[in-house]
Amino acid sequence: MTVNIRQHLTDLSTPLVMGILNVTPDSFYSGSRAMTEEAVLRQASQLIADGADIIDVGACSTRPGSTPATADEEMRRLDMALPVLRRQWPDIPLSIDTFRADVARRCVEQLGADIINDIGGGEMDKAMFGTVAELKVPYVLTHSADLTSSSTPVEDVCLWLAQRLDELHLLGVADVLVDPGFGFGKTLEQNFELMSRLSCLQALQAPLLVGISRKSMIWRTLDCAPEQSLNGTTVLNTIALQAGANILRVHDVRAARETISLYNACFSHSA
């Protein structure tokens, strides 16, 4: 399985690591925040040194209970961060974490972003799918519907993603990655049911991106803080790899890289 990033077919047979860089003051994990050019360079340098294949830049927190930044504020933060990253590392793929089509367009056309990572799944801005089709860049389709009253959450996630995959393909979008949206519109129990049956998403025949890094399903279950949830993240990332995850989106790149290396060492010779 491959994805076309920066006009290059990137092989996903070995999972990739997407490192999180938040240019927001209110993201739920303080260790991912960078609000100045110096902090952006420092944070990105560490992500790359630890083995990040992609850097995912977010400028609008979507954590539960938060008030999203305005489009102008989101864009102001990205105007600060993306040029710095692109000048320093001209070849590393940059993903823009936004649900706004206009923001995505400007980041791709003017600021050098290569991937659109939309936690809204095209629902928070109805112009997003058409914009992605015009821009011809890889798109991360995230499940974000409210399933809290559903008795069949895994089936509902698969159907929701399949319907939107069809819509995107009809529009001519060739490279779509699916993200089951852990933590978005799901109860704690539903999140774990989805994790336990994650391999069901292989039926979609699309690259699978999993982002469970330090999320509340971990620290609420373990009765700890996000800062203490790295071990739990590693456990769930291992389960995600067993289910066929192609990209791990994480705050802690070195730990994810080591997880992938050990997983591959165990299973690379299996039939």
Catalytic center residues: 215, 249
- Which residues, other chains included, contact 111 with Cβ-Cβ below 8 Å and sequence gap of 6+? 78, 79, 82, 83, 86
C-alpha pair distances (Å), 134 with each of 103, 168, 177, 271 = 14, 11, 17, 41
Question: How far, in Å, CA of 198 to CA of 216, rounded?
Answer: 18
Phi first, then psi, for residue 67 (nearest 5°) are -100, 115
| Residue 88 buriedness (CB in 10 A; 0-12 / 13-18 / 19+) | middle
| Structure token pair of residue 198 | 């994650």
DSSP string, 5-28: ETTEEEE-SS-EEEEEEE--S--S
Phi first, then psi, for residue 254 (nearest 5°) are -60, -45
Handedness of CA 181, 155, 124, 183 (dihedral sign): negative
**What is the Rg, in whole angstroms, of the alpha carbon atoms belonging to the chain?**
17
Handedness of CA 160, 162, 165, 166 (dihedral sign): negative
